[in-house]
């Protein structure tokens, strides 16, 4: 994680850098910093612990002149969050400053070597090692900045997106990437840098997504040059980005998270647009057309993902197994990559990732590729690393997700998994034509039903204060609603800091039941499906121990209200699509509880939106 911004041109750099950092704060907010070459030629570095606002306050009485600069918002890996460890980092002479997103794994070895040569370090970070190494080889071998960066990167093991400025050459920024994202924006007599395109799109829509192992030489008055670390010139692949600015502003909501929860009906329409033909009740995915054979011959599906995307994967498993009769396993990417898993060329590996940058998911893809599996990506961020590393895939098209707690990406992922499962099931003949059409039709009705589910917002806002004093909460569900119980608990943990656990409702009696008392709220997803009666019994088990139950029920339900403390009523749908609707009240619950507790909903402590370190 960490967010990187850069500017070189004729405008004042500072406001552009700060605005860019604010857009990238979702990538981390342990500290923020900026390095600018001032009008008088000084290289000024200013940094502050915490959010970007702290940095702007710190800079209020500083020299912020200059038209070239780099800036960084940090999610700490090496070294505690502090101004000292914040980026940018100077080299010893203060001629160079660097920003970095990623991890230099062999930093300790390089640091020890440099220390024997007399280099002194000011921070505990792996990043400072890189800038000191660049300066050391620059001086020792009398190299240009570009040459020194090439030599240094050759010695480095790890992941990085970096940008370096040299005060002796204020017309240049050198940037490079390996496994961490970096985008260069090309304007008129100006260039921009960003970890994604969001800090750039106000100024230009022409961007180059830097490829792994490449260096960008950004010189004012010259064409952008991209080369490999070894110096081989690369062809410029300039793309036009099309991100609606309104999509990344709050649009009248107090928080991005609330805005994103409310956007879901529209997002899912976008996700299905052009893929579901409503008249014919038919799903077409371009990946299914281009790679029909590879997908249909799958003997097994393995889903790799992290966090919320992993929960979406658990729903995918049930879809693939019950509709397509294809065995499916769901793996935490971080475990999969290190446990020598059995993967064969008969497997289709589906990587799910909102950001498309999660380091563990990328590594899991790499491993599966080496074993010959066919790789399918389900991502949101267009042009990000995962879609580029996969054989094919489907974008969820829900627009930029800024709130750190994932909401609309989850329902987008489940929608794509549903469409894919329907395509496969229909082609494999594992569901009847009639069932297929009925299911496709129902999927198209989900946005409307989500609108109805969103009407529970006021009720949930009123309920939320009751739960703010809870220390622990339990979320229960069965079948398709079990992954949703996990997701509901994760949302609450992430933003309200209340400990919460998701459990399969029937499994509760094998442990968590011991914890139940009147202090522990229990949220039960008890919508009408095959397991409805069984879930009622589970609710009774909770009630018998004095537990307080809030149940999510299907409209028309008359039974559960007799013994639940609170009920939240949702529209009916097919069992397999229930998570698309029931996720909404769970997201709203977490949101309102966190707001009542006065928490920073969009930027919860210790978390980052995009986890580009393992
Ligand atoms: C982080 C985010 C989560 C997200 C997970 C996986 O932990 O805070 O919201 O679910 O990473 O991210 P991805 O971008 O791969 O879906």
Assign a CATH topology to domain 457-596: Rossmann fold (3.40.50)
Q: Tell the residue nearest (CA) to atom 1 of ligand 1.
A: 609
Q: Tell the residue nearest (CA) to atom 13 of ligand 1.
A: 353
Ligand 1 atom at minimum distance from 305 CA:
15
Burial of 370 (0-12, 13-18, 19+ CB in 10 A): exposed
Cβ partners under 8 Å of residue 515, min gap 6: 472, 474
Distance CA 578, CA 143 (A): 62
pLDDT of residue 223: 95
pTM, rounded to two decimals: 0.79
pLDDT of residue 1: 64
pLDDT 10s digits, 373-423: 999 999 998 778 899 899 999 999 898 898 999 999 999 999 999 999 999
pLDDT of residue 247: 66
Q: Are 407 and 260 in contact (CB under 8 A)?
A: yes
Instruction: Select the more confidently predicted residue: 181 or 596.
Output: 596
In terms of CATH architecture, what is 3-243? Answer: 4-Layer Sandwich (3.60)
Cβ partners under 8 Å of residue 578, min gap 6: 480, 481, 484, 525, 527, 529
Q: What percent of the chain has pLDDT over 70?
A: 99
Q: In angstroms, what is the span from residue 21 Cα to ligand 1's centroid?
A: 20
Q: Where exactly are the structural domains of the chain?
A: 3-243, 248-453, 457-596
Ligand 1 atom at minimum distance from 409 CA:
16
Q: In angstroms, what is the span from residue 363 Cα to ligand 1's centroid?
A: 15
pLDDT 10s digits, 533-571: 888 988 988 888 888 999 999 999 999 988 899 999 999
Distance CA 429, CA 323 (A): 10
User: 326: which 2 tokens?
Assistant: 């294809």
Q: In angstroms, what is the span from residue 610 Cα to ligand 1's centroid?
A: 6
Distance CA 319, CA 311 (A): 13
Q: What is the mean pLDDT of residues 70-88?
A: 87
Q: SS3 sequence, 391-423?
A: CEEEECCCCCCCCCCCCHHHHHHHHHHHHHHHH
Q: SS3 sequence, 487-544?
A: HHHHHHHHHHCCEEEEEEHHHHHHCHHHHCCCCCEEEEECCCCCCHHHHHHHHHHHHH
pLDDT 10s digits, 471-501: 999 999 999 999 999 999 999 999 999 999 9
Q: What is the mean pLDDT of residues 346-367?
A: 95
CB atoms within 10 A of CB 518: 9
How open is the CA angle 212-217-221, to the nearest 5 degrees?
A: 145
Name the CATH superfamily, with its identifier, for domain 248-453.
Glucose-6-phosphate isomerase like protein; domain 1 (3.40.50.10490)
Q: Are 302 and 373 in contact (CB under 8 A)?
A: yes
Q: Tell the residue nearest (CA) to atom 8 of ligand 1.
A: 609
Is the per-residue pLDDT at 45 higher than 90? Answer: yes
Cβ partners under 8 Å of residue 339, min gap 6: none
pLDDT of residue 246: 66
Q: What is the mean pLDDT of residues 27-36?
A: 89
The mean of the pLDDT values for the chain is 93
59 included as an active-site residue: no
pLDDT of residue 588: 98
Q: Are 317 and 331 in contact (CB under 8 A)?
A: no
Q: For residue 27, what pLDDT band results from cuts at 50, 70 and 90?
A: confident
Q: Which of 2, 308, 403 to mutate to test the pocket of ligand 1 (most atoms within 8 A of CB)?
A: 308
Q: What is the mean pLDDT of residues 80-96?
A: 93
Q: What is the mean pLDDT of residues 202-228?
A: 96
Distance CA 123, CA 493 (A): 32
Q: What is the mean pLDDT of residues 560-588?
A: 96
Instruction: Select the more confidently predicted residue: 311 or 538.
Output: 311
pLDDT of residue 514: 83
Lowest mean pLDDT among 136-145, 240-249, 264-273, 521-530: 240-249
117 included as an active-site residue: no
Q: What is the mean pLDDT of residues 113-140?
A: 96
Q: Tell the residue nearest (CA) to atom 15 of ligand 1.
A: 353
pLDDT 10s digits, 427-466: 999 999 999 999 999 999 999 999 999 999 999 999 999 9
Distance CA 599, CA 592 (A): 10
Is the per-residue pLDDT at 248 higher than 80? Answer: no
Domains 3-243 and 457-596 share a fold: no
308 lines ligand 1 (CB under 6 A): yes
Is the per-residue pLDDT at 216 higher than 90? Answer: yes
Residues written for the chain:
614
């Amino acid at each position: 994680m960490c967010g990187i911004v850069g500017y070189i041109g004729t405008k004042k750099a500072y406001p552009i850098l700060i605005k860019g950092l604010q857009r990238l704060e979702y990538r981390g907010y342990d500290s923020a910093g900026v390095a600018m070459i001032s009008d008088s030629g000084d290289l000024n570095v200013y940094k502050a612990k915490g959010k970007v606002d702290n940095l702007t306050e710190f800079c209020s009485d500083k020299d912020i002149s200059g038209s070239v600069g780099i800036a960084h918002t940090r999610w700490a890996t090496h070294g505690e969050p502090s101004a000292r460890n914040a980026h940018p980092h100077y080299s010893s002479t203060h001629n160079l400053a660097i920003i970095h997103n990623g991890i230099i794994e062999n930093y300790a070895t390089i640091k020890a070597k440099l220390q024997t040569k007399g280099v002194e370090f000011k921070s505990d970070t792996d990043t400072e090692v890189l800038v000191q190494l660049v300066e050391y080889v620059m001086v020792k071998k009398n190299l240009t900045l570009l040459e020194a960066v090439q030599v240094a990167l050759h010695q480095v093991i790890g992941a990085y997106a970096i940008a370096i400025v040299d005060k002796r050459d204020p017309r240049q920024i050198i940037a490079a990437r390996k496994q961490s994202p970096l985008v260069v924006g090309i304007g008129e007599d100006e260039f921009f840098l960003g970890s994604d395109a969001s800090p750039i799109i106000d100024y230009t829509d022409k961007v180059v997504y830097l490829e792994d192992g490449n260096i960008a030489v950004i010189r004012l008055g010259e064409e952008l040059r991209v080369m490999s670390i070894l110096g081989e010139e690369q062809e410029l692949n300039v793309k036009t980005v099309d991100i609606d600015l309104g999509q990344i502003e709050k649009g009248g909501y107090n928080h991005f998270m609330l805005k994103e929860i409310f956007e879901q009906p529209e997002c899912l329409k976008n996700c299905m647009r052009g893929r579901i033909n409503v008249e014919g009740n038919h799903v077409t995915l371009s990946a299914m057309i281009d790679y029909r054979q590879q997908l249909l011959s799958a003997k097994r599906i393995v889903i790799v993902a992290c966090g919320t995307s992993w929960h979406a994967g658990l729903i995918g498993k049930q879809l693939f197994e019950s509709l397509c009769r294809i065995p499916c396993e769901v793996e935490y990417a971080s475990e999969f990559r290190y446990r020598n898993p059995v993967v064969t060329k008969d497997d289709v590996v589906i990587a799910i990732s909102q950001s498309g940058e999660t380091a563990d998911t990328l590594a899991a893809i790499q491993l599966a590729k080496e074993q010959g599996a066919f790789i399918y990506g389900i991502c949101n961020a267009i042009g990000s690393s995962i879609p580029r590393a996969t054989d094919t895939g489907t974008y969820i098209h829900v627009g930029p997700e800024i709130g750190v707690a994932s909401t609309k990406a989850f329902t987008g992922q489940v929608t794509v998994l549903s469409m894919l499962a329907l395509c496969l099931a229909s082609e494999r003949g594992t569901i009847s034509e009639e069932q297929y059409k009925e299911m496709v039709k129902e999927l198209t009705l989900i946005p409307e039903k989500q609108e109805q589910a969103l009407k529970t917002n006021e009720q949930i806002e009123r309920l939320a204060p009751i739960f703010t004093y809870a220390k622990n909460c339990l979320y229960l569900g069965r079948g398709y609603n079990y992954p949703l119980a996990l997701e509901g608990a994760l949302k609450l943990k992430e933003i309200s800091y209340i400990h919460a656990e998701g459990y399969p409702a029937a499994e509760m009696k094998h442990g968590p039941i011991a914890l139940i008392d009147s202090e522990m709220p229990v949220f039960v997803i008890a919508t009408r499906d095959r397991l409805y009666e069984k879930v009622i019994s589970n609710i009774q088990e909770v009630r018998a121990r004095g537990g307080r139950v809030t149940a999510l029920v299907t409209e028309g339900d008359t039974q559960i209200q007799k013994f639940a403390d609170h009920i939240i009523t949702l529209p009916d749908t097919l069992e397999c699509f229930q998570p698309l609707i029931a996720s909404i009240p769970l997201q709203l619950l977490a949101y309102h509880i966190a707001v009542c507790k006065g928490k920073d909903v969009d930027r919860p402590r210790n978390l980052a939106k995009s986890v580009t370190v393992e």
